[in-house]
Amino acid sequence: MLDELQLNFEKSVKDNNLSSKELEIKKLNFDNFLKNGFPNKRLEDWKFLDLNQILKSEFENFNFQQDLIDTKEEYFKIIKEFEHNQIFLLDGVFFRSNFQFEDIEKIKISNEKYYDEQINENSLVNLNHAFVKKRLKVEVLSGYKANKPLIIYSNISDKSKSSIINSNIELVLGEDSSLEVINLSNTPKHINFFNCFCSTTIKDNAVLKVFDINKDKKNIIEYNFDEIDLNKNSHLEYFIYSSGSKFKKHEINCSLNQQYGSAVINGILNLGKDNQHEIKTTINHNEENCRSYQLIKNALNEKSKGVYQGKIFVDQKAQKTDGYQLSRALLLSGESEFNAKPELEIYADDVKCSHGSTSGNIDENAIFYLMSRGLSYYQSRQLLINGFLQEVIEKISDPEIKELIKKITGIKDEN
């Protein structure tokens, strides 16, 4: 497998007409990837899921998609009756955009050749940086508040088969700006590995809300890594709904770098079959008077496996930190599995931090009660599951996006 990747890399750098500096950086990234390979259970951060084994079982060989090979509009199923701006990615490559509701002088979109001189220790980020040709950058200028949400439609074409698809995005919010982003994607015909890296900077007094929806993507093995930096009095709201992929791991590394920053990260793993999903968060409280809140809920059916690893780090100068973290799991089958690793690493004295994790079976007495009120067993069970998960969706601050996500996920109040 690695020999095949080596050949693909050599072809990639040969075709890209890179400068000597660009070539050096990409080779460093690729060498780091080769040294560590695809993650497996021997790594502490991957002790619950083995991506290397899954890739070996699903792929006989790898292809790499780096250019648009298919430009059919039909791949994109646009959400109607919901006003929004649009960015379209096809096979990880920028396709087109539509910002009809915005002042186009205030939101800058670029898609330029990319290389990062800072070498990451994460092998999948190394793989991304070694192969990606261009980075999509979305910048909201200072003082501008977007009128409508932005949906990033990230779809995979029928011509992509057994492919490693790398996507690289940068979000920059200028001072006193705001933006809402919804990430959606399709279900491809063939199995593919999607490797996405996103770098985000939220400057003073800016607000970013991100809603990542993974539903019905049965032919996707997916890895997402978000690197997020918050400045003074800035705010992040991040919501994850993870359901459809055969395998998905979503990592968020969020740093509160200046006073009065706040980050809210909430998520749902709603799994069945033999799907394996993980949410891993690291919240770095690097300055005083910052707040973080995390709530992750899991509904795990059949042979599915859910994982949550969450760490709150508090620097010694980060006094007056307020950090909260909780994960809960509902085990709906004797064969489902949930693993959690909550962590606190605190070097300051004046802080308020807590973490916890619980898991258990569905309440059969509650099901019996609902059946006595005229509901079927299935209806009663689904009502309890939805009620359990709905708490997370209700924390979405934007009412229109909240209703859209209820519609997409099917998790809504039955009353």
Which residue type is seen at 350? D
Residues 323-339 have a mean pLDDT of 98
Q: Is 73 helix (H, G, I), strand (E, B) or coil?
A: helix
pLDDT score recorded for residue 116: 78
Residues 309 and 406 in one domain: no
Residues 362-372 have a mean pLDDT of 96
List C-alpha distances in Å: 164 to 12, 52, 275, 360.
13, 13, 19, 37
pLDDT score recorded for residue 415: 54
Which of 60-64, 141-145, 410-414 comes out lowest in average pLDDT?
60-64
**Token pair belonging to 91:** 């096979």
Residues 80 and 135 in one domain: yes
What global pTM score does this model have? 0.94
| 62 pLDDT more than 80 | no
Distance CA 293, CA 355 (A): 10
Asked if 94 and 112 touch (Cβ cutoff 8 Å), the reply is no
Q: Is 369 helix (H, G, I), strand (E, B) or coil?
A: helix
User: In which band, very low, low, confident or very high, does the pLDDT at 118 lie, cut at 50, 70 and 90?
Assistant: confident
List, in order, residues 6 or more apart from 285 with CB less than 8 Å away: 256, 292, 312, 313, 314, 315, 318, 321, 323, 348
User: In which band, very low, low, confident or very high, does the pLDDT at 66 lie, cut at 50, 70 and 90?
Assistant: low
- What are residue 159's DSSP bridge partners? none
Q: What average pLDDT is seen over the chain? A: 92
User: In which band, very low, low, confident or very high, does the pLDDT at 58 lie, cut at 50, 70 and 90?
Assistant: confident
Residues 341 and 386 in one domain: no
pLDDT per position as a tens digit, 133-174: 899 999 999 999 999 999 999 988 877 776 889 999 999 999
| CA end-to-end span of the chain | 52
Q: In what order do the strands lie in the sheet with 150-155?
A: 93-98, 85-90, 150-155, 178-184, 207-214, 235-242, 262-271, 291-300, 321-331, 351-361
Residues 235 and 381 in one domain: no
pLDDT score recorded for residue 72: 58
Residues 154 and 32 in one domain: yes
Residues 227 and 338 in one domain: yes
Which of 5-14, 82-91, 319-328, 383-392 comes out lowest in average pLDDT?
5-14
| 247 pLDDT more than 90 | yes
pLDDT score recorded for residue 3: 73
**Token pair belonging to 71:** 């430009």
Residues 130 and 46 in one domain: yes
Residues 392 and 302 in one domain: no
| 324 pLDDT more than 90 | yes
DSSP state of 336: -
pLDDT per position as a tens digit, 264-313: 999 999 999 999 999 999 999 999 999 999 999 999 999 999 999 999 99
Distance CA 257, CA 285 (A): 7
| 263 pLDDT more than 80 | yes
Which of 110-119, 155-164, 204-213, 233-242 comes out lowest in average pLDDT?
155-164
pLDDT score recorded for residue 155: 85
pLDDT score recorded for residue 91: 87
Compute the C-alpha angle 174/317/325, nearest 5°: 75
Residues 333 and 390 in one domain: no
User: In which band, very low, low, confident or very high, does the pLDDT at 8 lie, cut at 50, 70 and 90?
Assistant: confident
Residues 170-186 have a mean pLDDT of 96
State the total domains in the chain: 2
Residues 241 and 369 in one domain: no
User: In which band, very low, low, confident or very high, does the pLDDT at 315 lie, cut at 50, 70 and 90?
Assistant: very high
pLDDT score recorded for residue 64: 66
Residues 370 and 339 in one domain: no
| 105 pLDDT more than 60 | yes
Which domain range does residue 394 map to? 365-414
pLDDT score recorded for residue 67: 58
Residues 139 and 150 in one domain: yes
List, in order, residues 6 or more apart from 358 with CB less than 8 Å away: 327, 328, 329
